[in-house]
Chains A and B, each alone.
Chain A
Amino acid sequence: MSREKRFSPFRNINFTMGLWITLAILLIALLSLGYTPFDPNRMNLSMRFQAPNSNHWLGTDQYGRDILSRVMKGAVNSMIVGVVAVSIGMGFGIFLGSLAAFYKKWVDETIMRISDVLYGFPAVLSAILITSILGPGVVNSMMAIGIFNIPIFARLTRATSLSVWERDFVASAKAIGRSDAEIVWKHILPNILSPLIVQGTVQFAIAILAEAGLSYLGLGTQPPHASWGRMLQEAQTFMGTSPWLAIFPGCAIALAVLGFNLLGDGLRDMLDPKLARIQQRI
């Protein structure tokens, strides 16, 4: 390989843009933990519906709360939901998928058929189902989004690890007497990690969208706490008079989803050896 063709992640425009956007959102989220321009939940009824100005950069909402502070706090909310939901989905999904690929037969059948049923429901619908059973709230909505992520990771893990199990290095690992758990941990997982990471970033974006959807329906974050979906829902009736109430949280959702999707796309392009080779030839 010549020097020019050395691996450089920043040659991939999707990855670069995605990374910058997600990093920016992450930084804003971290910043808002310690500092917001105003208290995001404190009402100021004499300052309602202020258009964006030098004091309130993104304006104020129907209760006179600072929209910038609320969008910032909303970022924390979205990030936490994304991390927790994807962790739940990955943790259980990889475990179940590995079990299915290893034991095959009825274990495989049972796990996969249950996944198929879960997978059959649209993501947001199953989240609504779960939150209406567990009750509304941010913790329950994270769990709900996490649960509908499980079958996605379970299927992916099973499908990719099945082929790895057939490879020669697994056979040799078996031959030298490694235990099954050790083989899964040391040989199977590292080899299927890249599709899982790609899927993880995509699911992260979907989780943010799902949380916004649930909050929009009143099942996610409860008032007065800020969430982008909730802000959007409350802004709906003020669209005609004060559009900035809806524009900024809407942009935040769009940007976050775009960022994670680009990141996922970029990662996929780079981590998939076949695609990478094709791109290099072009």
Chain B
Amino acid sequence: MKKFLFFCSIFLTFAILTTVTSAQQKPVSGGSLIIAQGVEPPGLDPTTATSAAIPRVVYTNVLEGLLKIDRNGKVVPALAKDYKISRDGKEITFVLERGVKFHDGKPFDSEDVKFTFDRLMDPKTGTAHPEYYKDIDSVQVVDSHTIMFKLKNVNSMFLFNLARPDSIIVNRQAVDKIKSMPVGTGPFKFVEWVRGDHITLTKFGEYYRKGIPYLDKVTFKFIGDPSAQIASLKAGDIDVIAYDVSPENASLLEKDPKFKVLNGYTTTEVILSTNNSRKPFNDVRVRRAMAYAIDRTALIKAAMSGYGIPIGSHMDPGNPHYIDLTSAYPYNPEKAKQLLAEAGYPNGFEAVIKLPERFAYAKRTGEIIADMLSQVGIKLKIELTEWGQWIDRVFKNADFDLTVIGHAEPFDINIYANPKYYFRYDNPKFQETLKKAESEANPKTQRELYITLQKTITEDAVNGFLYVLPSLPTMKKEVMNWWKDYPMTAVDVTEVWIQK
């Protein structure tokens, strides 16, 4: 009997092993991929413009940084093979990959790194996010493949910032062309950009990591209209829709055996942005009442067909510091009414909610919230706002009561420390804690601090924290190894392959 069991177990292990290996098929090289993208990038330089459409084409495909964010949201080495942090946390030494070449044939060395960061710190460059580099004291070339960053202060966000699309290494001989034809070190090289239509990339044969990439050619096709994207996918003109597939289309395509939809998360926190400087929203009781009046589960079901993860604070679940605070304000309209009465609005009040016309998720969410808040007496007048106008009136001038918008940038809780930011939240305690968290070297204490930060904004109910947008990349069945989650504003096709 024992022998029988023994053989059985061997057989079972064998069986399991074979299924595992057959499930994890070996990638095949070759083939081309056409990816639909809703928004055409305004240029291709991710260092001087904030448009998310830029990194979605070039980040890690064409242009690489010292570090990058991988599909799990972790900071991993890219052009830097390894790095060491000094004991005081103020000196970071990077050892660079050897044998790396730019697409124009120029070898990559530490001078390029120095050039890149000197350029980013130069106010004349017009860097989109100079705050990422404000703590750099100097960048020193140690030898041709070693470089050292000297920091003014310890900054726990520094490595993450180096992995952002803003910190890609530029080719010092081709930097003037970066906006229209970037020359990087990535697995794909830029071929052409037909404005209004597409960008083509082809495999870079001399890429330093052997065997990668698998694809020969990648085309980003710009199709603005979501229904046209779906129609093109069904007609076979495109292979993948990377972003912004509407939830109802996703559930429809999921049923089609020719396609697959991956249901992951993004870093886009959708919030009910509240102008904290305006009456009556400057009263925390009013903001809390609104939080109690919103039924997140019903909202996600109705606005997003059930896709999307609820959040209770301004952090996405992919973030290592994330904690679940969704139970802070359970749906309770009675409590909401009571809080409103305490704040001096027993019969509610009237306000305007400005919704960006361009985003279906924001419009729907806003309409449902208007209905939910009306049930506790808060009457919202909906104003659909054109995107340019929204940026100008709401985002730049804080001329609004309420709005709904998704914040796409990863790890952006720091926006709550800026009292001039459009929702006008000014809490010195939060600002101080953030400073502490950013300069804390001990990861454990640091995590504690970030948790405190999340809790603080939840307690103050600064904005209505609603949900994280689902990723929903939709593609033909044959497309393999696509990122399920989007922890970075990226469409990284480095390791994507096509099943033959």
- When distances are taken between beta carbons in the complex, the residues of chain A under 8 Å from B360 are 237
> Is A238's CB under 8 angstroms from B248's CB?
yes
Report B371 CB to chain A, min CB distance, Å.
4
Residue B226 is within 8 A (CB to CB) of chain A in the complex = yes
CB-nearest residue of chain A relative to B251?
A241
Q: How many residues of B contact A (CB 8 A)?
A: 23
Report A125 CB to chain B, min CB distance, Å.
16
Residue A279 is within 8 A (CB to CB) of chain B in the complex = no
CB-nearest residue of chain B relative to A44?
B371
> Is B382's CB under 8 angstroms from A42's CB?
no
> Is A43's CB under 8 angstroms from B371's CB?
yes
A237 and B226 in contact, given A45-B298, A223-B363 (Cβ under 8 angstroms): yes
Residue B138 is within 8 A (CB to CB) of chain A in the complex = no
Report B255 CB to chain A, min CB distance, Å.
10
A136 and B252 in contact, given A42-B371, A43-B371, A223-B367 (Cβ under 8 angstroms): no
Residue A62 is within 8 A (CB to CB) of chain B in the complex = yes
A224 and B226 in contact, given A48-B302, A62-B302, A237-B246 (Cβ under 8 angstroms): no
A224 and B302 in contact, given A237-B226, A238-B248, A240-B252 (Cβ under 8 angstroms): no
Residue A218 is within 8 A (CB to CB) of chain B in the complex = yes
- When distances are taken between beta carbons in the complex, the residues of chain A under 8 Å from B252 are 240-241
Residue B383 is within 8 A (CB to CB) of chain A in the complex = yes
> Is B382's CB under 8 angstroms from A222's CB?
yes
Give 10 closest A-B pairs by Cβ, nearest first: A43-B371, A45-B302, A218-B357, A45-B298, A218-B384, A223-B382, A240-B252, A237-B246, A223-B367, A237-B248
CB-nearest residue of chain A relative to B372?
A43
- When distances are taken between beta carbons in the complex, the residues of chain B under 8 Å from A63 are 302, 367-368, 371
Residue A163 is within 8 A (CB to CB) of chain B in the complex = no
Kindly state the separation between the CA atoms of A104 and B301 in the bound complex, as whole angstroms. Answer: 65
Q: Which residues of B contact A (CB under 8 A)?
A: 226-227, 246, 248-249, 251-252, 298, 301-302, 357, 360, 363-364, 367-368, 370-371, 381-384, 386
Kindly state the separation between the CA atoms of A223 and B368 in the bound complex, as whole angstroms. Answer: 11
- When distances are taken between beta carbons in the complex, the residues of chain A under 8 Å from B249 are 237, 240
Q: List 19 A-B contacts (CB under 8 A).
A: A41-B371, A43-B368, A43-B371, A45-B302, A45-B368, A48-B302, A132-B386, A136-B384, A218-B384, A222-B382, A222-B384, A224-B370, A237-B246, A237-B248, A237-B249, A240-B248, A240-B252, A241-B248, A241-B251
Kindly state the separation between the CA atoms of A41 and B227 in the bound complex, as whole angstroms. Answer: 27
CB-nearest residue of chain A relative to B385?
A136
Kindly state the separation between the CA atoms of A63 and B227 in the bound complex, as whole angstroms. Answer: 21
Chain A 124-163 interface 0/1 with B at a Cβ cutoff of 8 Å (1 = within): 0000000010001000000000000000000000000000
Q: A45-B301, A48-B302, A224-B370 are in contact. List 16 more A-B contacts (CB 8 A).
A: A42-B371, A43-B368, A43-B371, A45-B368, A62-B302, A63-B367, A136-B384, A218-B357, A218-B386, A224-B367, A224-B371, A224-B382, A237-B248, A237-B360, A241-B251, A241-B252
Kindly state the separation between the CA atoms of A238 and B371 in the bound complex, as whole angstroms. Answer: 21
Residue A236 is within 8 A (CB to CB) of chain B in the complex = yes
Kindly state the separation between the CA atoms of A236 and B368 in the bound complex, as whole angstroms. Answer: 18
Kindly state the separation between the CA atoms of A227 and B374 in the bound complex, as whole angstroms. Answer: 21
Which one of A41, A48, A136, A237 has the highest number of Cβ atoms from chain B below 10 Å of its Cβ? A237
Report A132 CB to chain B, min CB distance, Å.
8
Report B135 CB to chain A, min CB distance, Å.
44
Kindly state the separation between the CA atoms of A223 and B382 in the bound complex, as whole angstroms. Answer: 6
Report B290 CB to chain A, min CB distance, Å.
17
- When distances are taken between beta carbons in the complex, the residues of chain B under 8 Å from A238 are 248
Report A34 CB to chain B, min CB distance, Å.
22
> Is A223's CB under 8 angstroms from B384's CB?
yes
Which A residues from 216 to 249 make CB contacts under 8 A with B?
218, 222-224, 236-238, 240-241
